[in-house]
A and B are shown apart, each in its own frame.
Chain A
Amino acid sequence: MKRIVAAVAMALTLTACGTNSDPLADEPAASGAAGGSVTVGSANFPESQLLAEIYSQALEAKGVKVTRKFNIGAREVYLKALQDGSISLLPEYNGALLAALSPNGIPAGVSSSDTVLAELKKVLPSGTEVLAQSTAEDKDTLTVSADTAAKNNLKSIEDLKAVAPTLVAGGGPEFTERQQGLKGLKEVYGVEFKEYKPLDPGGPLTVNALKDGDIQVANLFSTDSSIVTNKFVTLADPKNLFTSQNVIPLIRSEANNATVTGALDAVSGKLTTENLTSYLAQVQVDKKDIAVVAKAFLSENGLG
């Protein structure tokens, strides 16, 4: 018996070691450190993790204590984590966030970066705020293979309406229920696919499925370098279903302070669609590590 007690005691002692990274402690959103402390979260696709890592390193460079909780899931999941305080900062996309927070859809006429931002500020969950937005945009797209585009003479989503019932689409599972997804496609364009295959949000499953012809239409992100590499054709969106999608930090107010705002504003000031696309390609194509690419972004833009 004594031995068992000793073993348990030892295990508990081991548990007590390394408390600085104790994953069982729910880290408080704010602490006494100089620049405060921030728990950075991200969605479950590489670009979101890259942006979250860039934010994290920029904050750490300014003396803010950062805890990383990346790769949480879809917006529907990580917004809940933000609201319950599990995380306090996220890279977001203004249009997609607005769509998610507007149960009745985005008001008519709201599609430019500025109108989207103004509208977004009205519907943010209490206790959260957005900081300055960057010019970097990453839109949801409907993308087809060059073959499919040529065969069906597809240039815009409007052209899809007639052929959609014969086509299989694919992308992240969340796309099925979103306004900026199958719902909106049906309402705005009258497009209804034969089938929708839930794969991954803008990830390799979707890209490979499109390449192999398992699906004919894919929901990819516009910054994805695989679109160019594979000569995919992104369909135009004349009715602006997929609104402007500027990268923007979403933060819990209690975690925000002048240091945090300063660091993140500096990042947003340097982010452009072009440099985001090329840094993301380093992650997706060259398989460079996210932390390494984030560091390169910061030092090459004079922020590290």
Chain B
Amino acid sequence: MIQYLTNNHVIVWQALQEHLYLALLPILFGFAIALPLGYLAVRFTWLYHPLINTFGVLYSIPSLALFVFLPVILGTKVLSPVNVVVALTIYTVALLARTVADGLRAVDPVVVQAATAMGYRRTRRLVDVELPIALPVILAGLRVATVSNISLVSVGSLIGIGGLGQLFTRGFQLFYLEPILIGVILSVVLAGIADLIIVLVQRAVTPWTRAA
């Protein structure tokens, strides 16, 4: 394994970088889209179930199918990383919109009433009161989305884009264990680090959850 790494550090390093891009950009985009969507699903209660069900179905489309189809729908090139980024953004939104909605719905109405009574308008109340209270739930969803994105990226290797997944197919075509093992380990470590970072951020931004 060490020898494979010394011979191939350039390839492995590039695969790792590509993997990070492909997994984390969708998290940024997905989070930005899911926040307003989740809010809308709470604000207009009739939206909640249709939205959640739609995302449930989207989430069950196999990633490989999405990777293959997006070029047809978006008009992108077949090897464009945009396909993977868009596909994973869809999964991220599907996961996060629900947690955002659930997190906001779980805010104690008494707290909301109190904030209203103190003179908070809707937007400020959302930003200063409801979102912070919902944050632990939202961040828990973000952890799930981040970790699953990092492991899903590798499926892209079946269509020639896939970060560390390229090490899987490379090894698999030769029945050669090392590259596959290195790919799996790096992918898990990457997910672990990303998860840890979110946990640390969560501890830093929600000190009150530890007070009790």
A interface vs B, CB < 8 Å?
1, 3, 7-8, 11, 15, 18, 21, 23-24, 26, 41, 44-46, 69-73, 77-78, 80-81, 84-87, 200, 203-204, 208, 283-284, 287, 289, 291-292
Contacts and interface: CB of A to CB of B under 8 A. Distances in A.
A84 B159 contact: no
A260 B28 CA distance: 41
Contacts of A69: 79, 160
A11 B28 contact: yes
B79 A72 contact: yes
B78 A289 contact: no
28 contacts: A3-B205, A18-B17, A21-B14, A21-B17, A24-B81, A26-B77, A26-B80, A44-B160, A44-B173, A45-B173, A46-B173, A71-B157, A71-B166, A71-B170, A72-B79, A77-B78, A80-B78, A81-B79, A81-B160, A84-B77, A84-B78, A85-B77, A86-B80, A200-B173, A203-B172, A204-B173, A291-B7, A291-B8
Contacts of A84: 77-78
Contact of B8 (A41, A200, A208, A289): A289
A7 B24 CA distance: 13
Nearest to B162: A71
A73 B21 contact: no
Which size class do B's interface residues fall under?
35 or more
A73 B157 CA distance: 9
B149 interface: no
Contacts of A41: 79, 160
Nearest to B18: A23
A171 to B, nearest CB: 14
Interface in B40-91: 77-82, 85
Contacts of A26: 77, 80
Contacts of A292: 7
A88 B80 CA distance: 14
Contacts of B21: 15, 23-24
Contacts of B7: 289, 291-292
A80 B21 CA distance: 25
Contacts of A85: 77
Nearest to A285: B174
B185 interface: no
A72 B78 CA distance: 10
Contacts of A203: 172-173
A148 to B, nearest CB: 22
Interface in B140-192: 157-161, 166, 169-170, 172-176, 178
Nearest to A289: B7
Contact of A73 (B14, B160, B166, B173): B160
A208 B28 CA distance: 43
A46 B17 CA distance: 24
Interface in B1-29: 4, 7-8, 11, 14, 17-18, 21-22, 24-25, 28
Contacts of A8: 28
Contacts of A71: 157, 160, 166, 169-170, 173
A72 to B, nearest CB: 4
A23 B24 contact: no
Contacts of A81: 77-79, 160
Nearest to B14: A21
